[in-house]
Amino acid sequence: MLFFTQCFGAVLDLIHLRFQHYKAKRVFSAAGQLVCVVNPTHSLKYAPARCAAAQTSAEQGVLPPCHHHEAVHDSQLVPCTCPLFSCPWEGHLEVVVSHLRQTHRINILQGAEIVFLATDMHLPAPTDWIIMHSCLGHQFLLVLRKQEKYEGHPQFFATMMLIGTPTQADNFTYRLELNRNQRRLKWEATPRSVLECVDSVISDGDCLVLNTSLAQLFSDNGSLAIGIAITTSKVHNAEAEI
């Protein structure tokens, strides 16, 4: 009976996963887009001191800028960039990706355009949905957070962070798109560096912000599909042509 119950539960999980993929593909019908179903995680409060330390290091130029496909070599350590946990880990910037994948089990997708499908949007705040996106020779961190900036009024904040320096981040542009029921909403901006801390980005409001009613308008049975596209910035392209 125990074996049967476990197998039956696994089958139900597989059916649920396939159903979530179907819903995402129905919302984003463009061929070739990868779909990542992201389950929510209740986030622990991120320590402000760690964020401040990382931001100070970036402002002081501790981590030198580099170009595409070049590794970042520096003797300074940076804290864990995962916003879900108060992780005590510290390491060099070039090994942050391996830490996120091995320790925090964060999924990574490759491709110019992907679909981020966040499930269970009804869960109480604070809640995070997070994946990594590998594109154009770099890795990006997409964070969707449900948080109360004002008591009793939860909001959703979505932002893209480059796992790299602020100088590198200026070379890219990311686009987040919601598309449902003949309605379309887009947010386009330059990604911020993970050294600047997700909490700071949300506090500044430099991200896609949705109130509860707007999020429900674009959600489908408690799931929110966000199309993601990353391109090189026009300034970077112009400099390359010169």
* Residue extents of the structural domains in the chain: 31-39+78-232
Name the CATH topology of 31-39+78-232. Answer: 2.60.210
Cα–Cα distance between 168 and 79 in angstroms, integer?
19
Per-residue model confidence as pLDDT tens digits over 154-179: 999 999 999 999 999 999 999 999 99
List, in order, residues 6 or more apart from 218 with CB less than 8 Å away. Answer: 178, 179, 180, 181, 183, 185, 210, 224, 225
Longest Cα–Cα distance in the chain: 70
Residue 153, SS3?
Answer: strand
Residue 32 burial by Cβ neighbours in a 10 Å radius (0-12, 13-18, 19+) = exposed
Q: Which two tokens stand for residue 81?
A: 């960039």
| pLDDT of res. 11 | 52
Distances (CA, A) of 234 to 111, 112, 170, 190: 20, 17, 10, 11
Percent of the chain scoring above 70 in pLDDT: 68
* φ, ψ dihedrals at 123, nearest 5°: -60, 150
Q: How far is CA 18 from CA 111, 178, 213, in A?
A: 20, 21, 27
Mean pLDDT of the residues in the chain: 76
Q: Predicted confidence band at 10 (pLDDT cuts at 50, 70, 90)?
A: low
> How far apart are the C-alpha atoms of 241 and 147, rounded to whole Å?
43
Chain segment 108-118, per-residue pLDDT in tens: 888 878 999 99
| pLDDT tens per residue across span 173-211 | 999 999 998 899 999 999 999 888 888 888 888 999 999
- 3-state SS assignment for residue 175: strand
Please say if the pLDDT value at position 45 is more than 90: no
